Structures are given as structure tokens and as C-alpha cells.
């Protein structure tokens, strides 16, 4: 269990706890730069078609919750492959989105499972926070943007209903993953995986991704 960082906690224990809630810089292409103890990842122009990152922490069972803020410098076409989601791919494959081995929310609003568009939702704008609640034991996941309702009209709390996605692979490690398409300006992903860092309330019965 990662040491719990209380509000205002400092020192080595606090730094280790926050770092464990970040992106895995050791598995990332050199195009990525990291700040804020690895929680913020930014990448600009590159040579490959796509560049991916994954979280330091993985989970393989139970109910988990994470948030990722997506920011970009200029407007992009709706088909650009900027993705946020969960992946089984570690390390991330070169020139490939991590959601080709998982599921995720694409910039244009399509939610993918294993590279196939499954659910349609609103497109993402710069500064949006993608919220993910995943039951890794049952293979269900719920997605929402900012403080909006869970996509599909369901609810992960209590007696869970109408997950955004279901039938996902169980019994394997999952990582939070993100991807940017090259040929466009700097894109930034901020991972919130620790209770003290989250922007929204954790659904009842779920645990912050890195706690």
C-alpha cells in the first residue's frame, strides 16, 4: 500500500506518495518531459505517429478511481488520436495508443475498447478532466468528464448500474494510460491518482488509483 499523503504533508514520505501517483517516466519516450513529481507529462512534435505514457501504479482487482487532465496549446481536428484511459500495455508500444490494449476516451468523444470505437460522447476541450471509475474484478468501467454525469447514465456507486463499458479483461494488471498524436503542438496530461490530489469526490466503494 502506498503511504497516504494527508493534506499539507511534506517530507520524504509525502514526496514518495505523490510520485507513486504519477506517470512512469522510465518507460516513456524521450519526447516526454515530466514535472510535479511525475504527475504532469508534456510532449511536443515527434517523428512517430503516436507517443504514449502509462502510470507508475497498476492494479489488477478491486474498485479504483483516477482522473486525468488533458490540455493542448492549439485547436486540433476531431479525429486526432489523443487518448485517456486504462491499458494492459506496459511498457506502452511505440507509435501506438495504449488503448489498443485497453479502453479510453479519445479527443473526438469516441470511447474505444481495444482500438474499436464502442461509445459516442462529447468531444474533449483543453483543460477537461476525464474521470475513470473501474471495477477490475467485474470488468466494468464508468467514464465522465469534469463534474458531469457518468456516460451512459449509469452509476458506479452502491448497486452499480449501466457501466460505460463492460466485459473488460479481468485478472491482469491495468495502468492509467494516455497518448498524443505527433504532428501537433504540445499536449499535456496531468494524472491525479492520490486522494489528496483529486479534483472530484471518489465514488463510494472506490479507492484512488495510487492509494
Q: What's the Cα-to-Cα distance from 44 to each of 98, 101, 171, 183, 187, rounded to whole Å? A: 18, 24, 35, 8, 6
| Residue 33 CB burial class (10 angstroms; 0-12, 13-18, ≥19) | middle
Instruction: Please give the chain's pLDDT, 211 residues, in tens.
Output: 333 333 333 344 444 455 567 999 998 888 889 999 999 999 877 666 678 899 999 999 999 999 999 998 665 555 456 789 999 987 666 656 776 788 888 888 888 888 788 888 888 888 999 999 999 999 999 999 999 999 999 999 988 999 999 989 999 999 999 988 766 678 899 999 999 999 999 999 999 999 9
Order of all β-strands in the sheet with 50-59: 50-59, 174-181, 83-87, 102-106, 110-113, 116-120
d(CA 205, CA 29): 35
CA 33, CA 199: separation in Å to the nearest integer?
23
Instruction: Please give the helix or strand (H or E) that residue 129 lies within, else none.
Output: strand 128-135
Amino acid at each position: 500500500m502506498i503511504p497516504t499523503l494527508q493534506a499539507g504533508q511534506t517530507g520524504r514520505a509525502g514526496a514518495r506518495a505523490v510520485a507513486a501517483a504519477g506517470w512512469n517516466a522510465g518507460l516513456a519516450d524521450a519526447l516526454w518531459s515530466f514535472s510535479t513529481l511525475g504527475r504532469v507529462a508534456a510532449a511536443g512534435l515527434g517523428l512517430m505517429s503516436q507517443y504514449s505514457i502509462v502510470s507508475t501504479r497498476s492494479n489488477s482487482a478491486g474498485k479504483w478511481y483516477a482522473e486525468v487532465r488533458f490540455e493542448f496549446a492549439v485547436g486540433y481536428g476531431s479525429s486526432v488520436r489523443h487518448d485517456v484511459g486504462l491499458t494492459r500495455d506496459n511498457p506502452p508500444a511505440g507509435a501506438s495508443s495504449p488503448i489498443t490494449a485497453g479502453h479510453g476516451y479519445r479527443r473526438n468523444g469516441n470511447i474505444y475498447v481495444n482500438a474499436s470505437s464502442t461509445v459516442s460522447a462529447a468531444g474533449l476541450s483543453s483543460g477537461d478532466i476525464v474521470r475513470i471509475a473501474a471495477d477490475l474484478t467485474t470488468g466494468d468501467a464508468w467514464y465522465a468528464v469534469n463534474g458531469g454525469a457518468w456516460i451512459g447514465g449509469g452509476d458506479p456507486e452502491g448497486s452499480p448500474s449501466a457501466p460505460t463499458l463492460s466485459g473488460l479483461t479481468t485478472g491482469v494488471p491495468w495502468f492509467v494510460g494516455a497518448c498524443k498524436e505527433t504532428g501537433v503542438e504540445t499536449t499535456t496530461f496531468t494524472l491525479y491518482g492520490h486522494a489528496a490530489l483529486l479534483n472530484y469526490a471518489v465514488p463510494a466503494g472506490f479507492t484512488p488509483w495510487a492509494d
